[in-house]
Amino acid sequence: KQEVTQIPAALSVPEGENLVLNCSFTDSAIYNLQWFRQDPGKGLTSLLLIQSSQREQTSGRLNASLDKSSGRSTLYIAASQPGDSATYLCAVEGVRNTGKLIFGQGTTLQVKP
């Protein structure tokens, strides 16, 4: 059974700092991995999707990497801003393209001005 773990559970950093969020999964047979952002009481916003054949994806100040063999992904946020404060969730989709996502517990990020 696929399990997804995110470390740390919470993170507080000063504005401008570069930071890394970690995600690990137990079954390396994945179709893709996605990083989402969720603001309190709101829905999820997809940030980056990495296909199983890819190593990384970039969007603006965000860079996500994937190492399938070791079951790890990282989300790198450069020059953090207070507006980045949110919960970040990673989710994996199994080999068959079912759309079924298994989520990690999330990392709650606070960026202090």
Q: What does the binding site for other proteins look like in residue numbers (CB under 8 A)?
A: 31-32, 34, 36, 41-46, 49, 51, 89, 91, 93, 97-101, 103-106
List residues bridging with 11 in a β-sheet.
Answer: 109
In whole angstroms, the minimum distance from the beta carbon of 90 to other proteins comes to: 9
Cβ proximity to other proteins, 39 vs 67, nearer residue: 39
- Residue 29 φ then ψ, to 5°: -85, 80
In whole angstroms, the minimum distance from the beta carbon of 24 to other proteins comes to: 14
CA gap 31, 83 in Å, rounded: 31
In whole angstroms, the minimum distance from the beta carbon of 58 to other proteins comes to: 15
Cβ proximity to other proteins, 47 vs 77, nearer residue: 47
Cβ proximity to other proteins, 76 vs 103, nearer residue: 103
User: Using CA of residue 56, residue 31, residue 34, residue 70, what is the dihedral sign?
Assistant: negative
CA gap 94, 18 in Å, rounded: 31
In whole angstroms, the minimum distance from the beta carbon of 84 to other proteins comes to: 19
Query: Of the candidates 9, 8, 7, 3, which has an alpha carbon nearest to the alpha carbon of residue 92?
Result: 3
Cβ proximity to other proteins, 41 vs 83, nearer residue: 41
